[in-house]
């Protein structure tokens, strides 16, 4: 009886699968990139994905090597009027100020506490690094995770009043999903702090913590009062920007990506390294030219400057995404 | 007509799937751990996996957090009579010697070239580090990858005459597969070189390059004669051993594992960090006590010394795997 049933089942299953596959009209496939208008940008992305996933094709790439890397600030979320991580650092200074009365006479803290961001930034990189060390070190990695998690849930952007993790780009979310649906593994490779991104980026982008690469402070493992901890030290470990990006990629990912997406000259070397590999490669630069819906900036911008990338994208075959024309929507609902 | 067919298909599919699921007798499941004998080790591993994967259970862990980390030397493959990477370094010195006539009078090179490994190692850590820098740096990451790939395909172990990647532990391969089949993500966290492992470990263990954490030299991105390259510099970047292991875990993985497997006191902090987390955790030490089939060593060994781990495994609830009794096989066929 059981054997009979099994055979009957096999026949039924065969009929169901074989018959239905050939006679059911194809359901119209949902557009995987609804926020991307038709045009060259969309076409080149779709063609690239088709090319590297077509088995037997000259440029076929096995799934294990379908590595796509994305800058974060200005590529996956907004970076104006200032890197969101800098705004986070300012908020940290304000929160920590009651324990630091000396800050009222000490730059850049005094300017931050007065709300004078221009003066706060006047000290240049040195002041910024000191600010980051003060606000991002001296606690355990677990405590820092909690601080970032609280901040992202409560802080709001000065211009849009949105939570910062609501200022991620809808077209990029669709692109990430589309790539993953086609067997790609997606990574973030950002100048931003690796531990600043990990508390919220996995949920925002569907990218797990181990696929997030960024700048970091040195850390130290120690058992404090019987509790194992990882302490964040006020010392730079790695700057994942410019020439640092290929280094960060090799260190964390261990193979050369086939696709890289950025928006500023800080991403130039990442695109250069990626597209110098053999076979089909895609380098993409998101060009911020939409002052109405987001921001418009490139040459000479205080954040996300784009000059060499603009000059050389054409000759290098990199796709320059025109935010204004290519995207019919910026942020998620 | 099409609608009719579609409905008919749906009915067929329903009958096939629903009917067959309930009446087909269950096929006997293949044992996922055939090289593990019955006993406490096997039972504790299987119970742990059942506990963290039982939905609704008190200790259920979501797949995204099912992180398992494995030391490599002595845990996934043999490490006697000397770390295989040291044997690789010796082979490199021999291959490079024709370009370095000065080595015939210079330690540790002279001893290596004479085949006197004991004297070669007499210089301690300083000599070893110099040896590693000489043999592992001064080339691009791509060239180093090729060198390691060639070596692993050709070199043979002095005692077994096996290729080194044939001296991986069959029971550990089964454990890795078993964990992955249960939704775990498996990582290597080794004192060995991250770039030394990546050329062969993905195929050997089914672990992709980005899930391999290890020690590293500093690298530098530069465009040489128009070719983007990542140069390996003769400078230590990170030592992924002892207190370095939790640091490497946090840096690369970004979350605390729920399971850690090692074999020496170099893995102590990794197990300590892992098992100090909340909920169900499993720390495992592979105890090399099988001189007949592999090697027997623990306290005072020149490689893979195990003292604190032996002393404290019991009180910390870590599983001590008895290689001799728990494994019915060491290497793959």
pLDDT at A129 (0 to 100):
81
Answer whether A228 sits within 8 Å of B254, measured CB to CB: no
Q: How far is A13 from chain B (nearest CA, A)?
A: 5
Q: Which domain holds residue A111?
A: 84-139
pLDDT at B2 (0 to 100):
41
Final residue of a structural domain among A103, A124, A139: A139
Structure tokens that stand for B307 in this block: 């003292």
Complex prediction ipTM: 0.90
Distance CA A163, CA A267 (A): 26
Q: Is residue A78 part of a domain?
A: yes
B307 and B161, same domain (yes or no): yes
Strand partners of residue B67: B185
Report how far apart, in Å, the C-alpha atoms of B226 and of each of A275, B5, B52 are: 13, 61, 52
User: Which residues of chain B neighbour A5 with C-beta distances below 8 Å?
Assistant: 19-20, 23-24
Q: Tell me if chain A has a CB within 8 Å of the CB of B291.
A: no
Nearest to A12 among B15, B195, B202 (CB): B15
Q: Is residue A27 part of a domain?
A: no
Q: Is residue B19 part of a domain?
A: no
A53 and A120, same domain (yes or no): no
B69 and B101, same domain (yes or no): no
B121 and B152, same domain (yes or no): no
For A154-178, b/e burial (b = at least 16 CB within 10 A) is: eeebeeeeeebbbbbbbbbbbbbeb
Largest CA distance in chain B: 89
Per-residue pLDDT 10s for chain A (333 aa) are 344 344 444 444 443 444 344 444 556 679 999 999 999 999 999 999 999 999 999 999 999 999 999 999 999 999 999 999 999 999 999 999 999 999 999 999 999 999 988 888 888 878 888 888 889 999 999 999 999 999 999 999 999 999 999 999 999 999 999 999 999 999 999 999 999 999 999 999 999 999 999 999 999 999 999 999 999 999 999 999 999 999 999 999 999 999 999 999 999 999 999 999 999 999 999 999 999 999 999 999 999 999 999 999 999 999 999 999 999 999 998
| Residues 265-284 (B) with a CB less than 8 A from some CB of A | 269, 272-273, 276
B166 and B301, same domain (yes or no): yes
Distance CA A32, CA A325 (A): 18
How many domains is chain A partitioned into structurally? 2
A78 and A91, same domain (yes or no): no
Q: Tell me if chain A has a CB within 8 Å of the CB of B181.
A: no
Q: Tell me if chain A has a CB within 8 Å of the CB of B18.
A: no
**Quick count: other Cβ atoms within 10 Å of Cβ B125?**
8
Q: Is residue B219 part of a domain?
A: yes
The CATH number of whichever domain residue A65 belongs to comes to 3.40.50.1000
Q: Tell me if chain B has a CB within 8 Å of the CB of A198.
A: yes
B294 and B171, same domain (yes or no): yes
Q: Is residue A222 part of a domain?
A: no
Q: Is residue B209 part of a domain?
A: yes
A206 and A97, same domain (yes or no): no
B101 and B223, same domain (yes or no): no
Size of interface A-B (CB pairs under 8 A): 144
Q: Is residue B25 part of a domain?
A: no
Residue A73 is classified by DSSP as B
Answer whether B24 sits within 8 Å of A2, measured CB to CB: yes
B63 and B204, same domain (yes or no): yes
B135 and B244, same domain (yes or no): no
Q: Tell me if chain B has a CB within 8 Å of the CB of A13.
A: yes
Answer whether B254 sits within 8 Å of A210, measured CB to CB: yes
Q: Is residue B21 part of a domain?
A: no
- 3-class secondary-structure state, position A31: coil
Residues in chain A: 333
Which of these, B291, B223, B220, B281, lies nearest to B256 by C-alpha position?
A: B281
Give the pLDDT band (50/70/90) at residue B118: confident
Express each pLDDT in B136-194 by its tens digit. 999 999 999 999 999 999 999 999 999 999 999 999 999 999 999 999 999 999 999 99
Q: How far is A40 from chain B (nearest CA, A)?
A: 28
User: Which residue of A210, A246, A256 to mutate against B (max B Cβ within 10 Å)?
Assistant: A210
A69 and A94, same domain (yes or no): no
Which of these, B247, B149, B240, lies nearest to B191 by C-alpha position?
A: B240
Residue B103 is classified by DSSP as G
pTM, two decimal places: 0.91
Distance CA B62, CA B50 (A): 13
Cβ–Cβ under 8 Å, residues B285 and B306: yes
């Amino acid at each position: 009886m059981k054997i009979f049933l099994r055979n009957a089942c096999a026949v039924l299953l065969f009929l169901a699968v074989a018959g239905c596959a050939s006679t059911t009209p194809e359901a119209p496939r949902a557009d995987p990139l609804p926020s991307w208008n038709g045009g060259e940008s969309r076409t080149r992305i779709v063609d690239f994905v088709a090319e590297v996933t077509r088995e037997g094709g000259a440029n076929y790439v096995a799934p294990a090597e379908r590595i796509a890397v994305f800058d974060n600030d200005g590529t996956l979320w907004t970076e104006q009027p200032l890197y969101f991580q800098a705004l986070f650092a300012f908020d940290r200074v304000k929160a920590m100020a009651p324990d630091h009365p000396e800050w009222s006479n000490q730059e850049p803290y005094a300017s931050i506490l007065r709300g004078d961001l221009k003066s706060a930034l006047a000290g240049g990189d040195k002041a910024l690094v000191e600010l980051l060390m003060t606000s991002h070190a001296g606690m355990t990695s677990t405590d820092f995770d909690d601080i970032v998690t609280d901040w992202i849930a409560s802080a709001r952007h000065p211009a849009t009043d949105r939570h910062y993790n609501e200022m991620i780009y809808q077209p990029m979310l669709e692109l990430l999903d589309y790539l993953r649906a086609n067997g790609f593994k997606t990574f973030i490779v950002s100048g931003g702090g690796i531990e600043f991104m990990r508390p919220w980026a996995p949920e925002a982008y569907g990218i797990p913590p181990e696929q997030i690469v960024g700048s970091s402070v040195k850390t130290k493992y120690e058992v404090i009062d019987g509790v194992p901890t990882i302490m964040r030290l006020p010392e730079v470990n790695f700057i994942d920007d410019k020439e640092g990006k290929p280094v960060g990629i090799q260190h964390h990912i261990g193979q050369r990506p086939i696709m890289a997406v950025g928006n500023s000259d800080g991403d130039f070397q990442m695109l250069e390294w990626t597209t110098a590999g053999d076979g089909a490669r895609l380098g993409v630069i998101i060009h911020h030219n939409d002052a109405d819906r987001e921001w418009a900036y490139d040459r000479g911008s205080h954040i996300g400057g784009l000059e060499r990338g603009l000059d050389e994208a054409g000759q290098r075959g990199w796709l320059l995404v025109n935010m204004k024309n290519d995207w019919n929507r910026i942020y998620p609902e």
